[in-house]
Amino acid sequence: MSALTRRHLSALGLTLFSRASAQSGRRPKLLLRNFWQDVNIGDVGHGPGALTLLYKYFPEAEIMLWPKQLGPEPRRLVTQGYPKLKIVEGGVSRDGKPLTPEVAKAWEEADLYISGSGSGFPAHTDAIAFHKATGKPVGVFGVSTDPISGFGNGREPEGGTLEQIRAKAARLPATHLPEDYRYIIDRASFFFCRDTISVGYLKAQGVKTPILEFGPDAQLGMHLRDDAKGFAYLKSAGLREGKFICVIPRLRYTPYYRIRNTPRVPDDYVKDAINDRTTQQDHAKLREMIIAYVKNTGNKVMACAEMTYQVQMAKEVLVDPLPEEIKKNVVWRDTFWLPDEAASVYSKAQAVISVECHSPLISLRNGTPTFYVRQPTDTCKGQMYRDIGAKDWFFEVDETSGGQLWSRLESIVRDPARAKAQVRSIMSTVEGRQKRMVEAVREACAQRRA
């Protein structure tokens, strides 16, 4: 028997197994591919967010988590938060085969492969391999597909505003989408983009997935908190509920070569030059806002991180340059954390102001007003804030002054009840889309098992 025939029979066997199990009443099984890296609490939080939504709106399903990277602390977060969850370990070979028996068994048992939130359809080659090997459906749970920002393939390293990215994407030829992406998106049962710029781009590319819609980042679903650790930190730092703000910095490009201790490649020199040129001007605006907030309220400020490298950066660009009389009201968090502790801290803040994209999502999920100050290199995912009704709290950093940030923050200080009501309105919109996303998961499983 040839290898090709064996492969076809194997796929057929998987199909027959699935149909037989459906007739026997077996619970549907989902394989969630997520947890792309551990150095970013946003990437850590995607996974729990998706898990919470799936368990909440599809409770009869069994879920297997297939993480890309899951270090000791994120693993603790997941195993404690979801004690019945099965975690599948292993990768995929260059020719698209599972590298461990665990992955092979998960592929055999799964009724549906779900790719979790991230930028640019993370691990799309694994989704392709799964689909080709099993013939089973694949779905995507809130990603961005920015065709303009970044490096290579005619992209623009300096990025642009959301309006500029949308306009440039609209002018791309209908054949712009790479063929491997087109292959799997055409065959996806559903494809939720976490911003409408991505939706518009893929529609213009003529992809054939039957469901191509806006579905916000799964981080907005994460319910996990660590109140014991978070509240203890607030007490030790002298931060009182509703009497402090959190501020998170960001370089325009993440220095992954420093984080991973790898040699610099040519693109890294360009990224470093952009960072060197823009870091001070970006964060001077945040410092101006911090000074105004402290002077006008007497409250405190916590400078903290969303990514590991930002722990030290927060001190250097947010705290150290401040006047001495302001520094007395500023707390520098000198350690990294996980999204559950961040969620607990953010829940007690008056507001969260972030140049990173995911801390504001954690903040909204926990009822706290928030600003996202977007840099032009941070892809089109920031459009999500407008899509969920948070446009008043969204800022393009190159079009915003420190005075404007303080003016908007002052309105939250003056009328916190109104700001909290705005958060509830935003989350109502989010929850409607989240239900729709899981509804598509349920429909894909039902069609598979019919």
- Alpha-carbon distance values, 294 to 297, 300, 302, 316, 352 (Å): 5, 7, 11, 19, 15
Using the predicted structure, report yes or no on whether residue 63 has a pLDDT greater than 70: yes
| Mean pLDDT (whole number) for 50-62 | 97
Confidence category of residue 296, pLDDT binned at 50, 70, 90: very high
Candidates 371, 289, 343, 388; CA nearest to 41 is: 343
Using the predicted structure, report yes or no on whether residue 244 has a pLDDT greater than 80: yes
Q: What is the pLDDT of residue 366?
A: 98
What is the per-residue pLDDT across 160-207, written as a single tens digit (0 to 9) for each?
999 999 999 999 999 999 999 999 999 999 999 999 999 999 999 999
| Mean pLDDT (whole number) for 314-328 | 98
Q: The whole model's pTM is what? A: 0.92
The identity of residue 7, as a single letter, is R
Confidence category of residue 223, pLDDT binned at 50, 70, 90: very high
Instruction: Tell me the CATH architecture of domain 3-221+431-449.
Output: 3-Layer(aba) Sandwich (3.40)
Using the predicted structure, report yes or no on whether residue 22 has a pLDDT greater than 80: no
Most distant CA atoms of the chain, gap in Å: 80
Q: What is the pLDDT of residue 270?
A: 98
Distance, CA of 272 to chain centre: 24
Q: Do domains 3-221+431-449 and 227-414 have the same CATH topology?
A: yes
Average pLDDT of every residue of the chain = 93
Using the predicted structure, report yes or no on whether residue 19 has a pLDDT greater than 60: no
Give the pair of three-digit tokens for residue 273.
Answer: 């030059």
| Mean pLDDT (whole number) for 268-289 | 98
Distance CA 441, CA 189 (A): 8
Phi-psi category of residue 385: left, alpha or beta, with phi > 0 → left and psi -120 to 50 → alpha: alpha
Using the predicted structure, report yes or no on whether residue 10 has a pLDDT greater than 70: no
Candidates 288, 390, 86, 7; CA nearest to 382 is: 390
CATH class assigned to 227-414: alpha beta
Name which of 35-39, 104-108, 235-239, 419-423 the model is least confident about: 35-39
What is the per-residue pLDDT across 385-396, written as a single tens digit (0 to 9) for each?
999 999 999 999
| Mean pLDDT (whole number) for 331-340 | 97
| Mean pLDDT (whole number) for 316-339 | 98
Confidence category of residue 8, pLDDT binned at 50, 70, 90: very low
- Alpha-carbon distance values, 35 to 40, 47, 324, 328 (Å): 10, 6, 41, 38
Question: What does the domain layout of the chain look like in residue ranges?
Answer: 3-221+431-449, 227-414
